């Protein structure tokens, strides 16, 4: 989604290399080994160059904490992306008895050092080190992925992690978050010294939808370790028969998905018809729990079960008219969904914009088109690839940083530039969901200077009010 703001997997603090992000009203520079580097603005397309990630080793005690948080055990295959001297890979098999572990590291000298360290530790037959780019190598066999990369590097990898890993796989990160993808577990550890610290003015600090760079890290006195459980693709319309004491009916549940966040509604069609909202849902991998209650009261319950491809099954507890709760098993099937095609709606500049959805080699791909968007100087408007897009089964989720596409060290600002985030479920031949757009408060000019933009009088005071119902029109198959 975005290019790196800081660092390569970094791992402990026995070196003299410090990576510190200076923040303030006048400059944004990275200091690496005492050498200032201009930070690169995030990019939103696949062709934009990735910023380099400096190497900082992780403390050995933090390595143990990361592997403990991920609950690494004998059945796990652990991948360390940016594996440095191999300490995470070695500890995974030596200390936590993982079945195997793999490190991906671009520096050939560190790869050679890792192999020597593994031989000395007596685990060379259970580990493997790949010299290569962590963005292009395959890690789909991992049950646990370990990161110490930086906020924006995490965001660059996020879609690939969700697409490649199986539901239930664990991703753990030292100190840096995953944007609006809220961590499932956090471990806050007091420490006297932090090897790589990321702190940046966050223009979206009050906005729950935008990557929150302040969500992890507590200065130089605390390590924050985060874990995410890769979610199953859950969005869509689910239907299944329910035999209640009052008679048989059909329970229809429509679920919307924003990574691990789930919301939705339900209808019960039977002797008595009820409808309402899913008032709370928890999704951990393929494990789903939700609670629901009819809009007019008198009917509700909860579900506890698992999702497998287009089937969902588990225990269902239903109460009617505040009588005794009835316990039964429920199996729902997901409606077939096709959301490929070109979808159009009124965009940020109040002109028609389009989202082109297609399948490439079986994978969902998206392109954003705004023909009326203010073009860059000397360039024609071009379609913008949406690299941060997620196929959620019967629906999709996407994010796009408009105005940052391919612009190293700069950001456009205009009525159509900002953070675009949307999700939808396919219902028949239509899409229904929500979309939001947030203007940038800060931009970086071509010389790396930060410019703060005053709030516009027309802006709504509460950021969440920008999210609204979305029902784009299909204009091409």
If asked whether residues 219 and 243 sit together in one domain, one would say: no
If asked whether residues 54 and 174 sit together in one domain, one would say: yes
If asked whether residues 49 and 168 sit together in one domain, one would say: yes
Tokens, residue 303? 């579900």
If asked whether residues 285 and 328 sit together in one domain, one would say: yes
If asked whether residues 151 and 183 sit together in one domain, one would say: yes
* Biggest CA pair distance of the chain: 74
Concatenate the DSSP letters of all residues of 279-347 into one string: EEEEEETTEEEEEEEETTSSEEEEEEEEEETTEEEEEEEEEETT-PPEEEEEEEEEPP----EEEEEE-
- Is 373 within a domain? yes
Mean pLDDT of the chain: 81
Please tell me the distance from the alpha carbon of residue 453 to that of residue 440, in angstroms, as a whole number: 8
- Is 223 within a domain? yes
Domain CATH number, residue 271: 2.40.128.120
If asked whether residues 322 and 350 sit together in one domain, one would say: no
Please tell me the distance from the alpha carbon of residue 3 to that of residue 151, in angstroms, as a whole number: 9
- Is 10 within a domain? no
Contacts 24+ apart (CB under 8 A), 319-327: 320/244, 320/245, 320/246, 320/272, 322/298, 325/301, 326/244, 326/245
Asked if 241 and 431 count as a contact pair (C-beta separation under 8 A), the reply is no
Please tell me the distance from the alpha carbon of residue 153 to that of residue 29, in angstroms, as a whole number: 17
If asked whether residues 314 and 406 sit together in one domain, one would say: no
Among 317, 334, 351, give the residue marking a domain's end.
334
Domain that holds residue 269: 236-334
If asked whether residues 255 and 121 sit together in one domain, one would say: no
DSSP state of 61: H
Among 197, 229, 261, give the residue marking a domain's end.
229
- Is 12 within a domain? no
Count helices and strands (H / E) in the chain: 4, 31
If asked whether residues 382 and 244 sit together in one domain, one would say: no
Asked if 249 and 269 count as a contact pair (C-beta separation under 8 A), the reply is yes
- Is 3 within a domain? no
Asked if 422 and 436 count as a contact pair (C-beta separation under 8 A), the reply is yes
Per-residue pLDDT of the chain (477 residues), as tens digits, is 332 333 334 443 333 222 323 222 222 222 222 222 222 333 333 334 455 677 888 889 999 999 999 999 999 999 999 999 999 999 999 999 999 999 999 999 999 999 999 999 999 999 999 999 999 999 999 999 999 988 878 888 999 999 999 999 999 999 888 988 999 999 988 876 655 554 445 556 656 666 665 555 555 677 889 999 999 999 999 999 998 887 889 999 999 999 999 999 999 988 778 899 998 999 999 999 999 889 877 788 999 999 999 999 999 999 887 678 899 999 999 999 999 999 999 988 788 999 999 999 989 999 999 988 877 766 678 899 999 999 999 999 999 988 876 544 445 666 778 889 999 999 988 999 999 988 766 555 566 555 555 554 444 434 444 789 999 999 998
If asked whether residues 64 and 201 sit together in one domain, one would say: yes
Please tell me the distance from the alpha carbon of residue 389 to that of residue 46, in angstroms, as a whole number: 12
Domain count, the chain: 3
Beta strands 384-386 and 388-391 are unpaired
If asked whether residues 97 and 181 sit together in one domain, one would say: yes
- Is 217 within a domain? yes
- Is 7 within a domain? no
Domain CATH number, residue 422: 2.40.128
Domain CATH number, residue 95: 3.40.50.150
- Is 460 within a domain? yes
Compute CA 423 distance to the chain's CA centroid, rounded to the nearest angstrom.
Answer: 13
If asked whether residues 374 and 461 sit together in one domain, one would say: yes
Half-sphere CA count of 361, side-chain side, radius 13 A? 0
Among 285, 308, 334, give the residue marking a domain's end.
334
């Amino acid at each position: 989604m975005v290019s790196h703001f800081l660092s390569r997997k970094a791992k402990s603090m026995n070196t003299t290399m410090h990576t510190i992000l200076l923040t303030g009203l006048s400059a944004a520079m990275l200091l690496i080994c005492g050498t200032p580097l201009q930070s690169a603005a995030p990019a939103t397309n696949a062709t934009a160059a990735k910023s380099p990630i400096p190497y900082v080793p992780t403390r050995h005690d933090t390595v143990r904490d990361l592997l403990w948080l991920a609950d690494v055990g004998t059945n796990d295959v652990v991948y360390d992306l940016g594996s440095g001297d191999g300490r995470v890979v070695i500890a995974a098999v030596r200390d936590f008895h993982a079945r195997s572990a793999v490190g991906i590291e671009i520096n050939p000298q560190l790869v050679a050092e890792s192999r020597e360290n593994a031989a000395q530790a007596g685990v060379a037959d259970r580990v493997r080190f790949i010299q290569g780019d962590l963005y292009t190598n395959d890690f789909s066999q991992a049950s646990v992925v370990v990161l110490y990369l930086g906020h924006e590097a995490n965001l660059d990898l996020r879609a690939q992690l969700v697409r490649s890993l199986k539901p239930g796989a664990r991703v753990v990160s030292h100190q840096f978050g995953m944007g609006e993808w809220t961590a499932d577990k956090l471990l806050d550890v007091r420490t006297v010294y932090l090897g790589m610290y990321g702190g940046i003015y966050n223009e979206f600090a009050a906005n729950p939808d935008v990557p929150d760079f302040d969500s992890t890290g507590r200065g130089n006195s605390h390590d924050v370790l985060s874990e995410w459980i890769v979610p199953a693709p859950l969005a869509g319309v689910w239907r299944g028969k329910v035999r209640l004491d009052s008679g048989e009916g059909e329970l229809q549940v429509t679920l919307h998905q924003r990574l691990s966040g789930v919301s939705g509604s339900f209808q019960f069609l039977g002797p008595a018809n009820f409808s309402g909202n899913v008032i709370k849902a928890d999704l951990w991998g393929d494990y789903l729990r939700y609670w629901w209650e009819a809009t007019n009261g008198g009917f509700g319950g909860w579900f506890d079960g698992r999702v497998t491809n287009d089937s969902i099954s588990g225990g269902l507890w239903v109460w009617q008219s505040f009588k005794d709760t009835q316990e039964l098993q429920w199996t729902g099937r997901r409606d077939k969904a096709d959301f490929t095609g070109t979808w159009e709606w009124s965009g940020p500049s109040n002109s028609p914009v389009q989202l082109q959805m297609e399948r490439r080699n079986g994978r969902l791909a998206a392109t954003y088109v705004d023909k009326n968007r203010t073009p860059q100087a000397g360039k024609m408007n071009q379609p913008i690839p949406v690299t941060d897009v997620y196929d959620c089964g019967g629906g999709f989720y996407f994010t796009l940083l408009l105005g940052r596409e391919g612009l190293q060290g700069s950001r456009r600002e205009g009525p159509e530039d900002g953070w675009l985030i949307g999700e939808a479920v396919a219902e028949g031949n239509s899409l229904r969901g929500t979309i939001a757009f947030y203007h940038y408060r800060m931009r970086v000019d071509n010389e790396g200077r930060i410019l703060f933009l005053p709030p516009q009088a027309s802006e709504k005071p509460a950021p969440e009010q920008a999210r609204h119902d979305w029902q784009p029109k299909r204009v091409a198959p």
